[in-house]
Amino acid sequence: MLSAFSNSLKIPELRARIFFTLGLIFICRLLARVPTPGVDAVALRDLIAALQTQAGGSMLVLFNLFSGGALQYAAVGALGIMPYISASIILQLMTAVVPALERLAREGEAGRQTLSQYTRYLTVALCIIQGYAMSATLWRPEALGLPAGTQIVTMGRMGFTLLTILTMTTGTMMLMWLGEQMTERGIGNGISLIITINIISDLPSAVQAIVRMFVRVDGVAQFTIFHLVGLLAMIFLVIAGTIAVTQAQRKIPVQYAKRVVGRKVYGGQSTYMPLRVNYSGVMPIIFAQAILMFPSKLLGMLPGEFFRRLAAAVYYGTPAYNVIYALMILFFSYFWVATQFNPVQIADDLKKYGGYVPGIRPGKPTAEFLDRTMTRITLAGAVFLTIIAVLPTIMAQQFNIPWIVASFFGGTSLLIMVGVMLDTMRQVESHLLMRHYDGFLKKGKLRSRR
């Protein structure tokens, strides 16, 4: 593996792509530190630091994680790349239900470019909405959990609102453009790399928290060396399991019949159709987290002791919350597969090009077979996602591990980092193999998630 990294710098084109990507990542990190005018970043940073020591659950902490700490500095890139991700998800879901968008998606490169343009327009709209919400939240510090009377904004409300919307929208659009440049002229998927780097930027703070865990307080250490060994073994097993399930796929054999066109013979070869076990990726966890942020707050706003008790029962980390969270991940795993995986279209395409699954008749029986197979393997992927998502909460609640440390043992952070790193390594490996260098693995090769 070390030789693969050294060989990467021997290829001029690959070396240029790597350094280009690193340069753009440096610019992205600058956007996460340049403060927005009119904000007292010290008070906001203290709040985020206090929330990170708790067992997560705050939408503020989640946004701060994906923005790479930009939110706690009230930076230009405080919204991060999430408005673009949200716009992409919305359009992707709408493509499955809106016939006009579905036709665009099937028109090839021209249709994809049109959908990309729609995504950018929707990103601007979401940035304006989220920028206004951010300015309104910063204007009322008590909504963030700060004591009443704490002043974060240092200028007039109207000017601050307009300036915040303009600044943060510009920051997000610049991050989106940098991500597209990484994808086109660098290595890996630019948007995913930005999110991954933002998550990894919290790693030094997590290491400091681990060190503090083993520092003696009043002569007694909270954790021992055996706990450290257990944590290291656990992170190794969790990462290995995440890689295995992310790469896991069910291979459906496909046979193409021979066709004679003029004097040429087409088809006749055997191949396979890969069905990924974790087809939905990290999306079910994101959907479940986003939805469950609101019930506790909404119930707490209603009058009456019953609603207050109900709000406390479904608060983050409670048994009822964990059960609902797990059930919602299972539901959204099947929901994402149902909206994005179209067995009827796949069966029709196979029939159109003379392909068939051995032992299964073309057409409707093939579609039913693919749907039944996907339903079964999705259960394994959904159970895996549920375990990974709930694991950080259990570690923080039951074993008193700081949330900033526990978040690296599962959830969206681990899934995104593992998936993006595998994709990036696959692209580097393809460049190495093209020029007759060894890849990262001596036996086998990294499989694409696409």
pLDDT tens column, 50-99: 555 554 445 556 666 666 666 767 778 888 888 888 888 888 778 877 88
Task: Give alpha helix (H) positions in 32-155.
Answer: 41-52, 59-66, 82-95, 99-105, 109-139
Please check whether residues 110 and 227 belong to one and the same domain.
no
**Domain closes at, from 201, 236, 259:** 201
Say if 417 falls within a structural domain. no
Average pLDDT over residues 15-38: 86
Contact between 428 and 76 (Cβ < 8 Å): no
Do 141 and 19 belong together in one domain? yes
196 and 232 in a single domain? The answer is no
Q: Is residue 137 a part of any domain in this protein?
A: yes
254 & 195 share domain: no
Residues 364 and 281 occupy one common structural domain: yes
Classify residue 312: in a domain, yes or no. yes
- Domain-located, residue 297: yes
DSSP secondary structure of 112-144: HHHHHHHHHHHHHHHHHHHHHHHHHHHH-GGGG
Same domain, 101 and 247: no
Residues 125 and 269 in one domain: no
Based on the fold, state whether residues 116 and 84 are members of the same structural domain. yes
In a domain, 434, yes or no: no
**Final residue belonging to a domain, choices 166, 201, 236:** 201
Query: Which of the 8 DSSP states describes residue 71?
Result: T
Strand partners, 253: 272
Total domains present in the chain: 2
Report the pLDDT value the prediction gives residue 353, as an integer from 0 to 100. Answer: 79
How many other C-beta atoms lie within 10 A of the C-beta of residue 248? 17
Say what the pLDDT of residue 261 is: 64
pTM for the model:
0.76
Of the segments 200-204, 205-209, 272-276, which one has the largest average pLDDT value? 272-276
Q: What is the CATH number of the domain that holds 269?
A: 1.10.3370.10
Domain that includes residue 126, residue range: 1-201
Whether residue 415 is contained in a domain is answered as: no
CA-to-CA distance for 335 and 337, rounded, in angstroms? 5
Closest CA relative to residue 197, chosen from 441, 31, 49? 31
Question: Which residues on neighbouring strands pair with residue 153, listed in sequence order?
Answer: 39
- Helix, strand and coil content of the chain, in percent to the nearest 5, comes to 65, 5, 25
- Amino acid in position 291: I
Residue 431 lies in a domain: no
> Quick one: 318 and 393 in the same domain?
yes
> For residue range 138-193, what is the model confidence (pLDDT) as tens digits?
777 665 555 566 677 777 788 888 888 898 899 889 988 998 898 888 888 888 88
Q: Are 133 and 126 in contact (CB under 8 A)?
A: no
3 and 136 assigned to the same domain? yes
Q: Give domain status of residue 437, yes or no.
A: no
Provide the pLDDT for residue 135. 83
Averaged confidence pLDDT in the chain: 79
Sign of CA dihedral 300, 135, 290, 325: negative
SS3 153: strand
Do residues 312 and 234 share a domain?
yes
Q: Tell me: do 195 and 235 sit in the same domain.
A: no
